Amino acid sequence: MVSYTYSDAVRRVAGVISVISAPVHLLASSPVVIYRWLDGSFESTATLERDLVELNQRHLVLQTRLHRFKALEAENQRLRKLLGAVSDVSHHIQLAELVEVDLDPYSNTILINRGTADGVTSGLPVIDEGGVVGQVTRPGLFHSAVTLVTDPGQGVPVQAVRSNLRTITFGAGRDGQMRVFYVDRNADIQIGDLLVTSGLGGTYPAGYPVANVSQIQRNVNEPFMTVWAIPAAHLDKGTKVMLIFTDHPSAERNPGSGSGSAGDSERD
Amino acid sequence: MISFGTQRRLWVLPATFVVAFVMFALPVGEEWKSYMPAWVTLVLIYWCLATPEKITLGTGWLIGLGLDILAFGLLGRYALTKTLITYLTRRVALRVRVYPVWQQSVFVLMLLALESVILVAIGYLIEGNIQGLAQWRALAIGAALWPFIFWFLRHCRRWSRLP
Protein backbone atom coordinates (compact mmCIF):
# COMPACT_ATOMS: atom_id res chain seq x y z
CA MET A 1 0.00 0.00 0.00
CA VAL A 2 1.06 3.53 -0.73
CA SER A 3 0.21 6.43 1.46
CA TYR A 4 0.07 10.02 0.36
CA THR A 5 -0.44 13.40 1.86
CA TYR A 6 -1.09 16.87 0.55
CA SER A 7 0.72 19.85 1.94
CA ASP A 8 -1.50 22.36 3.65
CA ALA A 9 -1.19 24.84 0.78
CA VAL A 10 -2.23 22.28 -1.86
CA ARG A 11 -5.18 21.21 0.25
CA ARG A 12 -6.33 24.78 0.66
CA VAL A 13 -5.89 25.62 -3.04
CA ALA A 14 -7.70 22.41 -4.07
CA GLY A 15 -10.54 23.30 -1.72
CA VAL A 16 -10.91 26.74 -3.23
CA ILE A 17 -10.57 25.54 -6.83
CA SER A 18 -13.34 23.01 -6.20
CA VAL A 19 -15.69 25.99 -6.50
CA ILE A 20 -15.39 25.81 -10.29
CA SER A 21 -17.10 22.43 -10.22
CA ALA A 22 -20.24 24.00 -8.73
CA PRO A 23 -21.85 25.03 -12.07
CA VAL A 24 -21.30 21.54 -13.51
CA HIS A 25 -22.78 19.95 -10.39
CA LEU A 26 -25.70 22.35 -10.57
CA LEU A 27 -26.43 21.35 -14.17
CA ALA A 28 -25.99 17.65 -13.43
CA SER A 29 -28.31 17.73 -10.43
CA SER A 30 -30.99 19.84 -12.15
CA PRO A 31 -33.01 16.89 -13.57
CA VAL A 32 -33.50 15.48 -10.06
CA VAL A 33 -34.20 18.90 -8.57
CA ILE A 34 -36.79 19.70 -11.25
CA TYR A 35 -38.40 16.27 -10.86
CA ARG A 36 -38.67 16.76 -7.08
CA TRP A 37 -40.13 20.21 -7.54
CA LEU A 38 -42.75 18.95 -10.02
CA ASP A 39 -43.50 15.99 -7.78
CA GLY A 40 -44.05 18.37 -4.87
CA SER A 41 -46.23 20.84 -6.72
CA PHE A 42 -48.62 18.15 -7.97
CA GLU A 43 -49.19 16.73 -4.52
CA SER A 44 -52.80 17.12 -3.41
CA THR A 45 -53.84 19.26 -0.46
CA ALA A 46 -55.34 16.22 1.23
CA THR A 47 -52.01 14.38 1.16
CA LEU A 48 -50.22 17.41 2.53
CA GLU A 49 -52.78 17.85 5.33
CA ARG A 50 -52.50 14.19 6.26
CA ASP A 51 -48.70 14.47 6.29
CA LEU A 52 -48.91 17.55 8.48
CA VAL A 53 -51.13 15.83 11.06
CA GLU A 54 -48.84 12.81 11.05
CA LEU A 55 -45.72 14.92 11.50
CA ASN A 56 -47.32 16.93 14.30
CA GLN A 57 -48.16 13.76 16.17
CA ARG A 58 -44.68 12.38 15.70
CA HIS A 59 -43.19 15.65 16.82
CA LEU A 60 -45.26 15.56 20.00
CA VAL A 61 -44.24 11.99 20.82
CA LEU A 62 -40.58 12.71 20.16
CA GLN A 63 -40.70 15.91 22.20
CA THR A 64 -42.06 14.00 25.19
CA ARG A 65 -39.36 11.39 24.88
CA LEU A 66 -36.74 14.11 24.53
CA HIS A 67 -37.74 15.60 27.90
CA ARG A 68 -37.12 12.26 29.53
CA PHE A 69 -33.76 11.93 27.78
CA LYS A 70 -32.74 15.39 28.95
CA ALA A 71 -33.46 14.41 32.56
CA LEU A 72 -31.55 11.18 32.08
CA GLU A 73 -28.62 12.99 30.50
CA ALA A 74 -28.43 15.42 33.41
CA GLU A 75 -28.56 12.55 35.86
CA ASN A 76 -25.88 10.72 33.91
CA GLN A 77 -23.58 13.75 34.01
CA ARG A 78 -24.15 14.11 37.76
CA LEU A 79 -23.33 10.46 38.41
CA ARG A 80 -20.23 10.68 36.21
CA LYS A 81 -19.10 13.66 38.27
CA LEU A 82 -19.69 11.72 41.49
CA LEU A 83 -17.60 8.87 40.11
CA GLY A 84 -14.91 11.32 39.08
CA ALA A 85 -15.13 10.11 35.49
CA VAL A 86 -14.51 12.32 32.50
CA SER A 87 -17.71 14.10 31.62
CA ASP A 88 -19.20 13.50 28.20
CA VAL A 89 -18.26 15.99 25.51
CA SER A 90 -21.15 17.94 24.05
CA HIS A 91 -21.95 18.05 20.35
CA HIS A 92 -23.78 20.40 18.13
CA ILE A 93 -25.40 19.55 14.87
CA GLN A 94 -25.56 21.30 11.53
CA LEU A 95 -27.95 20.32 8.76
CA ALA A 96 -26.63 19.74 5.25
CA GLU A 97 -28.26 18.67 2.03
CA LEU A 98 -27.08 16.10 -0.44
CA VAL A 99 -26.15 17.39 -3.87
CA GLU A 100 -27.63 14.91 -6.32
CA VAL A 101 -24.56 14.11 -8.37
CA ASP A 102 -22.39 11.06 -8.92
CA LEU A 103 -18.88 11.93 -7.88
CA ASP A 104 -16.73 9.06 -9.04
CA PRO A 105 -17.68 5.60 -10.27
CA TYR A 106 -14.56 4.20 -8.59
CA SER A 107 -15.40 5.27 -5.04
CA ASN A 108 -18.28 5.36 -2.53
CA THR A 109 -18.63 9.06 -1.92
CA ILE A 110 -21.47 11.57 -1.81
CA LEU A 111 -21.46 15.36 -2.03
CA ILE A 112 -22.99 17.66 0.58
CA ASN A 113 -23.63 21.38 0.33
CA ARG A 114 -21.45 22.47 3.25
CA GLY A 115 -17.77 23.30 3.04
CA THR A 116 -14.87 24.87 4.84
CA ALA A 117 -16.74 28.18 4.69
CA ASP A 118 -19.28 26.60 7.09
CA GLY A 119 -16.57 25.25 9.38
CA VAL A 120 -16.44 21.78 7.87
CA THR A 121 -13.12 20.01 8.33
CA SER A 122 -11.75 16.69 7.19
CA GLY A 123 -12.84 13.80 9.40
CA LEU A 124 -16.12 15.34 10.53
CA PRO A 125 -18.73 12.63 11.18
CA VAL A 126 -21.94 12.72 9.11
CA ILE A 127 -25.21 11.10 10.22
CA ASP A 128 -28.81 11.02 9.04
CA GLU A 129 -32.02 10.14 10.87
CA GLY A 130 -31.18 6.42 10.62
CA GLY A 131 -27.56 6.44 11.74
CA VAL A 132 -23.97 7.05 10.71
CA VAL A 133 -23.51 7.93 7.03
CA GLY A 134 -19.75 8.40 6.93
CA GLN A 135 -17.14 11.06 7.39
CA VAL A 136 -16.03 14.12 5.46
CA THR A 137 -12.92 13.17 3.52
CA ARG A 138 -12.43 16.06 1.09
CA PRO A 139 -13.79 19.40 2.19
CA GLY A 140 -14.17 22.04 -0.50
CA LEU A 141 -15.02 25.70 0.03
CA PHE A 142 -18.81 25.32 -0.29
CA HIS A 143 -19.18 21.59 -0.95
CA SER A 144 -17.58 18.56 0.66
CA ALA A 145 -17.17 14.94 -0.31
CA VAL A 146 -18.29 12.40 2.30
CA THR A 147 -16.99 8.83 2.18
CA LEU A 148 -19.74 6.37 3.10
CA VAL A 149 -19.41 3.70 5.78
CA THR A 150 -19.97 1.15 2.99
CA ASP A 151 -16.60 2.05 1.46
CA PRO A 152 -14.10 -0.81 1.97
CA GLY A 153 -11.55 1.72 3.22
CA GLN A 154 -13.83 3.07 5.97
CA GLY A 155 -13.60 1.42 9.37
CA VAL A 156 -15.98 2.33 12.18
CA PRO A 157 -15.28 1.21 15.77
CA VAL A 158 -18.60 -0.18 17.01
CA GLN A 159 -20.19 -1.82 20.00
CA ALA A 160 -23.17 -4.20 20.05
CA VAL A 161 -25.94 -2.69 22.17
CA ARG A 162 -27.18 -6.05 23.49
CA SER A 163 -23.88 -7.64 24.49
CA ASN A 164 -21.44 -4.70 24.69
CA LEU A 165 -19.19 -6.58 22.28
CA ARG A 166 -16.62 -4.19 20.78
CA THR A 167 -15.50 -4.63 17.20
CA ILE A 168 -14.91 -2.81 13.91
CA THR A 169 -17.03 -2.62 10.75
CA PHE A 170 -15.74 -2.05 7.24
CA GLY A 171 -17.65 -1.50 4.02
CA ALA A 172 -18.03 -4.61 1.92
CA GLY A 173 -17.79 -2.69 -1.35
CA ARG A 174 -20.86 -4.35 -2.88
CA ASP A 175 -24.64 -4.07 -2.51
CA GLY A 176 -24.22 -1.37 0.14
CA GLN A 177 -23.35 -3.97 2.77
CA MET A 178 -20.83 -3.98 5.58
CA ARG A 179 -18.51 -6.56 7.12
CA VAL A 180 -17.96 -6.88 10.85
CA PHE A 181 -14.39 -7.89 11.57
CA TYR A 182 -12.54 -9.58 14.44
CA VAL A 183 -15.57 -11.32 15.95
CA ASP A 184 -14.35 -14.27 18.00
CA ARG A 185 -15.74 -17.70 17.15
CA ASN A 186 -17.65 -17.89 20.44
CA ALA A 187 -18.44 -14.18 20.80
CA ASP A 188 -21.94 -13.13 21.79
CA ILE A 189 -23.46 -11.83 18.55
CA GLN A 190 -26.84 -12.53 16.95
CA ILE A 191 -28.64 -11.65 13.76
CA GLY A 192 -30.48 -8.36 14.29
CA ASP A 193 -28.00 -6.99 16.83
CA LEU A 194 -27.73 -3.20 16.62
CA LEU A 195 -24.18 -1.92 16.36
CA VAL A 196 -23.59 1.63 17.59
CA THR A 197 -20.43 3.72 17.50
CA SER A 198 -18.23 2.94 20.49
CA GLY A 199 -16.47 6.30 20.51
CA LEU A 200 -13.06 4.65 20.29
CA GLY A 201 -10.74 6.12 17.70
CA GLY A 202 -12.09 9.59 18.23
CA THR A 203 -13.67 10.20 14.82
CA TYR A 204 -17.23 9.17 15.62
CA PRO A 205 -18.84 10.18 18.93
CA ALA A 206 -20.24 7.27 20.94
CA GLY A 207 -23.80 6.00 20.72
CA TYR A 208 -24.91 6.56 17.12
CA PRO A 209 -26.39 3.56 15.26
CA VAL A 210 -24.15 2.20 12.51
CA ALA A 211 -25.55 -1.12 11.28
CA ASN A 212 -27.72 -4.14 12.00
CA VAL A 213 -26.16 -7.61 11.88
CA SER A 214 -27.74 -9.45 8.96
CA GLN A 215 -25.79 -12.65 8.48
CA ILE A 216 -23.42 -14.72 10.60
CA GLN A 217 -21.25 -17.51 9.33
CA ARG A 218 -19.29 -19.68 11.74
CA ASN A 219 -16.12 -21.09 10.23
CA VAL A 220 -14.93 -24.18 12.09
CA ASN A 221 -11.28 -23.85 11.17
CA GLU A 222 -10.86 -20.09 11.45
CA PRO A 223 -10.49 -18.02 14.60
CA PHE A 224 -13.01 -15.38 13.52
CA MET A 225 -16.58 -15.49 12.26
CA THR A 226 -17.70 -13.94 8.99
CA VAL A 227 -20.34 -11.39 9.93
CA TRP A 228 -22.31 -9.18 7.55
CA ALA A 229 -24.33 -6.11 8.48
CA ILE A 230 -26.70 -3.66 6.82
CA PRO A 231 -26.06 0.06 7.43
CA ALA A 232 -28.63 1.80 9.64
CA ALA A 233 -28.44 5.08 7.70
CA HIS A 234 -30.72 5.58 4.70
CA LEU A 235 -27.78 5.80 2.33
CA ASP A 236 -29.76 5.60 -0.90
CA LYS A 237 -32.97 7.41 0.05
CA GLY A 238 -32.10 10.36 2.26
CA THR A 239 -31.66 13.90 1.01
CA LYS A 240 -30.69 15.55 4.28
CA VAL A 241 -27.77 14.71 6.55
CA MET A 242 -26.36 16.15 9.75
CA LEU A 243 -22.80 17.10 10.59
CA ILE A 244 -21.70 16.51 14.18
CA PHE A 245 -19.34 19.11 15.57
CA THR A 246 -17.67 18.12 18.82
CA ASP A 247 -17.31 20.91 21.37
CA HIS A 248 -14.33 20.00 23.48
CA PRO A 249 -14.82 21.41 26.98
CA SER A 250 -11.15 22.38 27.22
CA ALA A 251 -10.46 23.56 23.68
CA GLU A 252 -11.92 26.90 22.75
CA ARG A 253 -14.20 26.62 19.75
CA ASN A 254 -14.03 29.42 17.26
CA PRO A 255 -17.41 31.12 17.59
CA GLY A 256 -17.28 32.35 14.00
CA SER A 257 -16.98 28.91 12.43
CA GLY A 258 -19.67 26.28 12.46
CA SER A 259 -22.48 28.71 13.06
CA GLY A 260 -22.34 30.16 9.56
CA SER A 261 -25.96 29.23 9.00
CA ALA A 262 -27.45 30.14 12.31
CA GLY A 263 -30.91 29.03 11.30
CA ASP A 264 -30.26 25.31 11.12
CA SER A 265 -27.62 24.73 13.77
CA GLU A 266 -28.87 23.51 17.08
CA ARG A 267 -27.47 22.05 20.26
CA ASP A 268 -28.25 18.76 21.85
CA MET B 1 -7.81 34.98 -44.19
CA ILE B 2 -11.20 34.13 -42.71
CA SER B 3 -13.99 36.09 -44.30
CA PHE B 4 -17.41 36.90 -42.84
CA GLY B 5 -19.86 34.03 -42.70
CA THR B 6 -17.15 31.42 -42.38
CA GLN B 7 -16.06 32.51 -38.94
CA ARG B 8 -15.13 29.61 -36.71
CA ARG B 9 -17.27 28.86 -33.70
CA LEU B 10 -14.40 28.16 -31.36
CA TRP B 11 -16.61 27.76 -28.30
CA VAL B 12 -18.02 24.48 -29.60
CA LEU B 13 -14.95 22.44 -28.67
CA PRO B 14 -14.90 23.47 -24.98
CA ALA B 15 -18.69 23.21 -24.89
CA THR B 16 -18.59 19.52 -25.84
CA PHE B 17 -16.23 18.95 -22.92
CA VAL B 18 -18.54 20.80 -20.53
CA VAL B 19 -21.42 18.58 -21.67
CA ALA B 20 -19.22 15.53 -21.09
CA PHE B 21 -18.36 16.81 -17.59
CA VAL B 22 -22.06 17.22 -16.80
CA MET B 23 -22.77 13.71 -18.10
CA PHE B 24 -19.97 12.43 -15.85
CA ALA B 25 -21.62 13.95 -12.77
CA LEU B 26 -25.17 12.99 -13.76
CA PRO B 27 -26.85 11.14 -10.87
CA VAL B 28 -27.98 7.79 -12.23
CA GLY B 29 -28.32 5.80 -9.04
CA GLU B 30 -26.33 2.96 -7.57
CA GLU B 31 -27.54 0.23 -9.93
CA TRP B 32 -26.89 2.16 -13.16
CA LYS B 33 -23.57 3.62 -12.06
CA SER B 34 -21.55 0.82 -13.59
CA TYR B 35 -23.23 1.29 -16.99
CA MET B 36 -22.20 4.91 -17.44
CA PRO B 37 -19.42 5.16 -20.03
CA ALA B 38 -16.49 7.52 -19.57
CA TRP B 39 -17.96 10.43 -21.54
CA VAL B 40 -15.00 12.71 -21.06
CA THR B 41 -12.58 10.10 -22.40
CA LEU B 42 -14.78 9.47 -25.46
CA VAL B 43 -14.97 13.19 -26.27
CA LEU B 44 -11.24 13.56 -25.67
CA ILE B 45 -10.46 10.68 -28.03
CA TYR B 46 -12.67 12.20 -30.73
CA TRP B 47 -11.00 15.60 -30.64
CA CYS B 48 -7.55 14.00 -30.51
CA LEU B 49 -8.40 12.06 -33.66
CA ALA B 50 -10.09 14.92 -35.49
CA THR B 51 -7.84 17.82 -34.57
CA PRO B 52 -4.60 16.41 -33.14
CA GLU B 53 -2.96 19.82 -33.42
CA LYS B 54 -5.59 21.48 -31.18
CA ILE B 55 -5.41 19.05 -28.26
CA THR B 56 -1.94 19.06 -26.77
CA LEU B 57 -0.73 16.95 -23.85
CA GLY B 58 -1.25 20.01 -21.65
CA THR B 59 -4.91 20.21 -22.67
CA GLY B 60 -5.40 16.55 -21.82
CA TRP B 61 -3.73 17.05 -18.47
CA LEU B 62 -5.89 20.09 -17.67
CA ILE B 63 -9.07 18.19 -18.58
CA GLY B 64 -7.98 15.33 -16.33
CA LEU B 65 -7.23 17.71 -13.48
CA GLY B 66 -10.63 19.34 -13.96
CA LEU B 67 -12.21 15.91 -13.69
CA ASP B 68 -10.22 15.21 -10.51
CA ILE B 69 -11.55 18.41 -8.99
CA LEU B 70 -15.08 17.62 -10.17
CA ALA B 71 -14.92 14.12 -8.65
CA PHE B 72 -13.45 15.36 -5.34
CA GLY B 73 -10.99 12.52 -5.74
CA LEU B 74 -7.27 12.03 -5.46
CA LEU B 75 -5.68 14.90 -7.39
CA GLY B 76 -3.77 13.73 -10.43
CA ARG B 77 -5.50 10.40 -10.92
CA TYR B 78 -7.59 11.35 -13.92
CA ALA B 79 -4.92 13.87 -14.95
CA LEU B 80 -2.53 10.95 -15.42
CA THR B 81 -4.93 8.76 -17.40
CA LYS B 82 -6.19 11.59 -19.60
CA THR B 83 -2.64 12.70 -20.41
CA LEU B 84 -1.76 9.12 -21.34
CA ILE B 85 -4.86 8.80 -23.54
CA THR B 86 -4.07 12.09 -25.25
CA TYR B 87 -0.52 10.93 -25.93
CA LEU B 88 -1.52 7.52 -27.30
CA THR B 89 -4.36 8.86 -29.44
CA ARG B 90 -2.31 11.68 -30.93
CA ARG B 91 0.47 9.24 -31.64
CA VAL B 92 -1.73 7.12 -33.90
CA ALA B 93 -4.36 9.71 -34.85
CA LEU B 94 -3.41 10.01 -38.52
CA ARG B 95 -3.62 6.25 -38.94
CA VAL B 96 -6.77 5.59 -36.89
CA ARG B 97 -8.91 8.39 -38.33
CA VAL B 98 -9.02 6.71 -41.73
CA TYR B 99 -10.17 3.38 -40.24
CA PRO B 100 -13.81 2.37 -40.60
CA VAL B 101 -15.84 3.35 -37.57
CA TRP B 102 -16.17 -0.17 -36.13
CA GLN B 103 -12.39 -0.55 -36.13
CA GLN B 104 -12.14 2.75 -34.32
CA SER B 105 -14.54 1.27 -31.75
CA VAL B 106 -12.03 -1.50 -31.05
CA PHE B 107 -9.30 1.12 -30.63
CA VAL B 108 -11.57 3.11 -28.28
CA LEU B 109 -12.34 -0.04 -26.29
CA MET B 110 -8.63 -0.65 -25.76
CA LEU B 111 -8.06 2.92 -24.57
CA LEU B 112 -11.06 2.78 -22.20
CA ALA B 113 -9.85 -0.54 -20.80
CA LEU B 114 -6.35 0.87 -20.30
CA GLU B 115 -7.74 3.86 -18.40
CA SER B 116 -9.91 1.61 -16.24
CA VAL B 117 -6.99 -0.67 -15.41
CA ILE B 118 -4.86 2.30 -14.38
CA LEU B 119 -7.65 3.77 -12.22
CA VAL B 120 -8.30 0.44 -10.50
CA ALA B 121 -4.55 -0.05 -9.98
CA ILE B 122 -4.19 3.40 -8.39
CA GLY B 123 -7.19 2.63 -6.17
CA TYR B 124 -5.52 -0.62 -5.13
CA LEU B 125 -2.23 1.11 -4.32
CA ILE B 126 -3.94 3.79 -2.22
CA GLU B 127 -6.80 1.94 -0.53
CA GLY B 128 -5.45 -1.60 -0.57
CA ASN B 129 -8.61 -3.01 -2.13
CA ILE B 130 -9.91 -3.45 -5.62
CA GLN B 131 -12.92 -1.31 -6.47
CA GLY B 132 -14.64 -0.50 -9.72
CA LEU B 133 -14.35 -3.87 -11.45
CA ALA B 134 -18.08 -3.58 -12.21
CA GLN B 135 -17.04 -0.81 -14.62
CA TRP B 136 -16.28 -3.37 -17.35
CA ARG B 137 -19.87 -2.92 -18.54
CA ALA B 138 -19.19 0.78 -19.05
CA LEU B 139 -16.25 -0.09 -21.30
CA ALA B 140 -18.42 -2.20 -23.61
CA ILE B 141 -21.14 0.45 -23.68
CA GLY B 142 -18.61 3.19 -24.36
CA ALA B 143 -17.17 1.29 -27.31
CA ALA B 144 -20.66 0.44 -28.60
CA LEU B 145 -21.68 4.10 -28.41
CA TRP B 146 -18.56 5.26 -30.26
CA PRO B 147 -20.14 5.34 -33.77
CA PHE B 148 -22.93 7.62 -32.48
CA ILE B 149 -20.56 9.86 -30.56
CA PHE B 150 -18.29 9.99 -33.59
CA TRP B 151 -21.23 10.95 -35.85
CA PHE B 152 -22.56 13.54 -33.40
CA LEU B 153 -19.21 15.19 -32.71
CA ARG B 154 -18.35 15.26 -36.41
CA HIS B 155 -21.52 17.25 -36.99
CA CYS B 156 -20.52 19.54 -34.13
CA ARG B 157 -17.05 19.99 -35.63
CA ARG B 158 -18.37 20.74 -39.14
CA TRP B 159 -20.95 23.14 -37.75
CA SER B 160 -18.26 24.93 -35.76
CA ARG B 161 -16.13 25.05 -38.96
CA LEU B 162 -13.09 23.69 -37.24
CA PRO B 163 -10.68 22.02 -39.67
CB of A1 within 8 A of CB of B125?
yes
Is A22 at the interface with chain B, CB within 8 A? no
User: Tens of pLDDT along A146-192?
Assistant: 999 988 888 999 999 999 999 999 988 767 889 998 888 888 899 99
State the Cα–Cα distance between residues A126 and A113, nearest whole angstrom: 12
Q: Contact A32/B36, CB-based, under 8 Å?
A: no
pLDDT in tens, A79-97: 888 887 666 667 888 999 9
For residue A255, the model assigns a pLDDT of 40
Q: How confident is the model at residue A228 (pLDDT cuts 50, 70, 90)?
A: very high
Could you say which of B27, B123, B125 has the minimum Cβ distance to residue A106?
Answer: B123
* pLDDT per residue as tens digits for the range B94-105: 999 899 999 999
ipTM of the complex: 0.81
Does B133 lie at the interface with A, CB-CB under 8 angstroms? Answer: no
Yes or no, beta carbons of A2 and B69 under 8 Å apart: no
Distances (CA, A) of A35 to A31, A38, A40, B19, B28: 6, 5, 9, 20, 13
Contact status, residue A171 vs residue A152, Cβ threshold 8 Å: yes
Distances (CA, A) of B40 to A104, A236, B45, B55: 13, 26, 9, 14
Bridge partners (DSSP) of residue A110 are A146
Contacts by residues A118-121 (CB-CB < 8 Å, ≥ 24 positions apart): A118/A94, A118/A142, A118/A257, A118/A258, A118/A260, A118/A261, A119/A94, A119/A245, A119/A254, A119/A257, A119/A258, A119/A259, A119/A260, A120/A144, A120/A243
Judged by a CB distance cut-off of 8 A, whether residue A176 touches chain B is yes
Is B75's Cβ below 8 Å from some Cβ in A? yes
Q: What is the pLDDT of residues B58-81, one digit of tens each?
A: 999 999 999 999 988 888 899 999
Looking only at Cα atoms, what is the longest distance across chain A? 62
> In the Cβ-directed half-sphere of B55, how many Cα atoms lie within 13 Å?
32
Q: Does A201 touch chain B (CB under 8 A)?
A: no
Task: Identify the residue with better confidence: B132 or A235.
Answer: A235
Residue B74: per-residue pLDDT: 84
B41 touches A: beta carbon within 8 Å: no
Provide the CATH topology of domain A155-231.
Answer: Thrombin, subunit H (2.40.10)
Q: What are the backbone angles phi and psi of residue A138, rounded to the nearest 5°?
A: -135, 95
Cβ distance A152 to B131 less than 8 Å, yes or no, reads yes
Which positions in chain B touch A138 (Cβ < 8 Å)?
72-73
- pTM given for the model: 0.81
Question: What's the CA gap between A67 and A64, in Å, rounded?
Answer: 5
**Residue A106 Cα, gap to closest chain B Cα (Å):** 5
Q: Summarize pLDDT for A100-142 with one digit per residue, the tens.
A: 888 887 778 899 999 988 889 888 999 998 899 999 988 888 8
